[in-house]
């Protein structure tokens, strides 16, 4: 290996600011005294030292002109100045500043994540969640999907968390008759919000024995049209969404409008009474 090339390699072991300050005089020294193996090891160890102590790189301050005042200070003064470190050279970052900035950047990143997560959580989802208009499909499609809909069994439409009730067929079902009404009109359809008005549990499908809904949480019981019966703590019947059938024959539920269920005022206020006692619930 040619000597200048080896000198360059040795120089590369030093950090860049050191090379800027000492590079040319150090190379001059190496050219005058080509280093042997021992000197090369010495240089490597010193380069490591220079990387460990970056604060020991004084700027290129040159003492030009007359010598400094020949005042000899007392012994203690220069000794105290031993090891006193000047501020780091321009452009270099001290360890403390670096740690502070990293800490600040980390905290900022965390805050942004929290803020973003909170916003995303709070952002209203009109397209898919509650508040949107849901197109359930044509009645014929619903009957194909769930044939018992024609017999009065509510059609559970999960995205809107609603039961679509075929009112005349449902009444027949609750009365114990067999009926098939596959094409009710829009005002014969009822969309019940499957959210118990007591504490918000999801109301399950009709029970087979009574054809009533009984909330699994606290036993609030509703008839097949969602009207509150005696059992359970709910104060009113299940809430409803407006239902319409558009020009294409598609059933549309508008979950932006919530019609509160009727208050529980006693058996004489019900619009529909099934043959079972007022005060029993599904088991």
Partner 1 sequence: MSEERGAASELGRFAEPAMLVLVSLSDGPKHGYAIMTDVEAFAASSLGPGTLYAVLARLQAGGLIEPLESDDRRRPYRITAAGAAALSGQLAEMRRFLRIGRLRLRGASEGLDR
Interface segment toward partner 1; rule CB under 8 A; list 53-61, 122-130, 170-178, 181-189:
53-61
What dihedral angle (degrees, nearest 10) is formed by the CA atoms of 106, 112, 117, 118?
A: 120
Work out the number of other CB atoms within 10 angstroms of the CB of residue 207. 14
Write down the least CB distance from residue 43 to partner 1, Å.
4
For partner 1, the binding residues in 63-82 under the rule CB under 8 A are 63-64, 67-82
**Gap between the Cα atoms of 280 and 283, Å rounded:** 9
Does 57 interact with partner 1 (rule: CB under 8 A)?
Answer: yes
90 scored as a contact of partner 1 (CB under 8 A) = no
Distance in Å from the first CA to the final CA of the chain: 94
Q: What is the DSSP letter of 263?
A: B
For residue 69, what are its two tokens? Answer: 């005042």
Alpha-carbon span 57 to 18, nearest angstrom: 6
- The yes or no reply on residue 3 touching partner 1 (CB under 8 A) is no
Residue 46 CB, shortest distance to partner 1, in Å, is: 3
Quick one: which of 26, 89, 146, 262 contacts partner 1 (CB under 8 A)? Answer: 26
Kindly give the interhelix angle for 3-12 and 16-32, rounded to the nearest 10 degrees. Answer: 150
Report CA-CA distances (Å) from 85 to 47, 76, 89: 19, 17, 11
Q: 86 or 106, CB closer to partner 1?
A: 86
**Count of residues in contact with partner 1, rule CB under 8 A:** 52
Q: Name which position in 61, 90, 119, 122 contacts partner 1 (CB under 8 A).
A: 61
Distance between CA atoms of residues 45 and 24, nearest Å:
19
| Binding flag, residue 16, partner 1 (CB under 8 A) | no
Question: Could you say whether residue 88 binds partner 1 (CB under 8 A)?
Answer: no
Per CB under 8 A, 9 contacts partner 1: no
Spatial separation of the C-alpha atoms in residues 153 and 124, rounded to whole Å: 32
Taking contact as CB under 8 A, which single stretch among the options 38-46, 119-127, 225-233, 273-281 is the one that binds partner 1?
38-46
For partner 1, the binding residues (CB under 8 A) are: 18, 22, 24-30, 32-33, 35, 38-39, 41-47, 49-50, 55-58, 60-64, 67-86
């Amino acid at each position: 290996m040619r000597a200048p090339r080896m000198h360059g390699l040795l120089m590369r072991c030093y950090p860049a600011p050191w090379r800027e300050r000492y590079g040319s005089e150090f190379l001059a020294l190496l050219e005058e005294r080509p280093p042997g193996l021992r000197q090369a090891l010495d240089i490597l160890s010193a380069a490591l030292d220079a990387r460990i102590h970056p604060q020991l790189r004084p700027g290129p301050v040159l003492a030009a002109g007359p010598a400094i005042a020949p005042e000899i200070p007392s012994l203690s003064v220069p000794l105290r100045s031993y090891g006193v470190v000047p501020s780091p050279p321009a452009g270099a970052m001290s360890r403390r500043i670096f740690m502070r900035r990293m800490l600040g950047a980390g905290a900022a990143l965390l805050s942004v994540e929290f803020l973003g997560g909170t916003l995303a959580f709070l952002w209203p989802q009109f397209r898919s969640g509650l508040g949107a208009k849901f197109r359930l499909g044509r009645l014929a499609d619903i009957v194909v999907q769930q044939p018992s809909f024609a017999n009065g069994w509510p059609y559970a439409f999960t995205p809107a968390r609603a039961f679509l009730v075929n009112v005349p067929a449902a009444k027949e079902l609750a009365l114990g008759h067999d009926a098939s009404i596959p094409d009710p009109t829009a005002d014969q359809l009822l969309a019940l919000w499957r959210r118990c008005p007591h504490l918000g549990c999801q109301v399950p499908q009709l029970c087979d024995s009574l054809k009533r809904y009984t909330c699994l949480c606290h036993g609030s019981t509703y008839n097949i049209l969602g009207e509150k019966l005696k059992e359970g703590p709910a104060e009113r019947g299940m809430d409803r969404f407006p239902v319409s059938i558009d020009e294409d024959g598609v059933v549309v539920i508008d979950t932006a409008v919530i019609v509160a269920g009727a208050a529980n005022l006693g058996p004489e206020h019900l619009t529909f009474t099934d043959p079972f006692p007022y005060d029993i619930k599904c088991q």
